[in-house]
Amino acid sequence: MTWYKNLPFELVIPIEMPKRAMSKWRDAVEVIADAIKTFDVRVTVVRLHYHVPPRQRFGEKHPMGETVSEDGEITLCSNDVDTVVHELAHVKSNENHTPKWAKIYFKLADHYMDEEYVKDAMKHASQFYPSVRKISRERGIIG
């Protein structure tokens, strides 16, 4: 059986995505499945957006992910865990880059990412989101 069968949400895989490319999405998809159980995040649909070359973490002009919070729908253009927890925080908070969203973003990041990854992700996010910047300062991640 394929690892991405029997997920607690509908997974939409682009027809042009080769099956061998799915292995690169495993961590991201499994984080979403776990967050549904562990943090009661209501995700109903995850759409993978396939790119050649694949989107890289941090710094792309194209959004790395998008969310329709009310419907529990996430579209991922990147398979990194930071993008996943960012979008999950939108679904859980039903808010857009607010202090409530940032608290959930940090909570999910602390759970699914190691300490160095959290620091890197939050330094980057602090450049764009004042709510993340505030918590990053409080935690000593940024000055």
Residue 87 belongs to some domain of the structure: yes
What's the chain's length in residues? 143
Residue 78 belongs to some domain of the structure: yes
Number of Cβ atoms within 10 Å of the Cβ of 65: 23
The answer to whether the pTM exceeds 0.85 is yes
Residue 3 belongs to some domain of the structure: no
User: Which residue type is seen at 4?
Assistant: Y
Per-residue pLDDT at 73 exceeds 90? yes
Residue-wise pLDDT tens digits, 123-142? 999 999 999 999 999 999 99
Domain count within the chain: 1
Count of helix runs (H) and strand runs (E) in the chain: 5, 4
Sheet holding 10-12, edge to edge: 10-12, 45-48, 73-76, 65-68
Is the C-alpha dihedral spanning 44, 38, 129, 24 positive or negative?
A: negative
**CATH code (residue 30):** 3.30.2010
Whole-number percent of the chain with pLDDT over 70: 91
pLDDT of residue 100: 98
Residue 1 belongs to some domain of the structure: no
Alpha carbon 119 to its chain centroid, in Å, reads 16
